[in-house]
Amino acid sequence: MTGGAGLLLIISGPSGVGKTTITHEVQKRVEGAELSVSVTTRPQTAADRVGVHYNFIDEAEFLGMIDRDELLEHAEVFGNRYGTPRKWVEERLASGGVVILEIDVQGAVQVKRAMPGAFGVFILPPSEESLLQRLRDRKREDEATIQRRFREAKREIAAAQAGGVYDEFVVNRDLGEAIERTVELVEQARLARAGGSAG
């Protein structure tokens, strides 16, 4: 379902690859781009801003949204549920906006199934070693957690490359260049959409 010349943009990438920074820059530089705010069952922390980072709901409400087909995608991560509300996304697309979903491969597969015209970009590290180093440099977690994230990251990259969900892969060797490249790809996809491709 596409309305207007809206573009649904999926940005994914493993932990530590810089995808959140790239996502925020795309949001700033692409006119009319908005980041979709997920709903989650995880507890709100002091750092969370409702409606900016997440909208917080309880388990029963979340399951109700699944039953009513109100989520474009949803997943359970470390015991908490996360999902993308469908109605908000469809309204923004209908008015010609660019809606950005920063989601994992599992979510991207669900979104592509629901909206085949979505444009997917996957951010890759220059190498596995550099990704492991970036995870360590964040100094947020102990080595066991870092190794678990690293294993997950390798699995996610393999799934992304094999899944046929992503239209483009951008290697984040240099952050500035990766941002420029991603913005360029999004603008091209948007022009193609506006040029009348049915998506």
Backbone angles phi, psi at 61, to 5 degrees: -65, -40
What's the pLDDT score for residue 1?
A: 35
Model confidence at 77, in pLDDT bands (50, 70, 90)? confident
In the numeric block, the tokens 């952050």 are attached to: 175
Backbone angles phi, psi at 193, to 5 degrees: -65, -45
Backbone angles phi, psi at 50, to 5 degrees: -60, 135
SS3 88: helix
Beta strands in 103-197 (DSSP E): 119-124, 168-171
Contact 70, 88 (CB under 8 A): no
| pTM of the full structure | 0.88
What's the pLDDT score for residue 4?
A: 59
Model confidence at 53, in pLDDT bands (50, 70, 90)? confident
pLDDT at 198 over 50: no
Q: CA–CA separation, 108 vs 122, rounded Å?
A: 10
pLDDT at 90 over 70: yes
Model confidence at 199, in pLDDT bands (50, 70, 90)? very low
What's the pLDDT score for residue 113?
A: 94
What's the pLDDT score for residue 140?
A: 85
Instruction: Report the DSSP beta bridge partners of residue 139.
Output: none
Q: CA–CA separation, 39 vs 57, rounded Å?
A: 7
What's the pLDDT score for residue 187?
A: 95
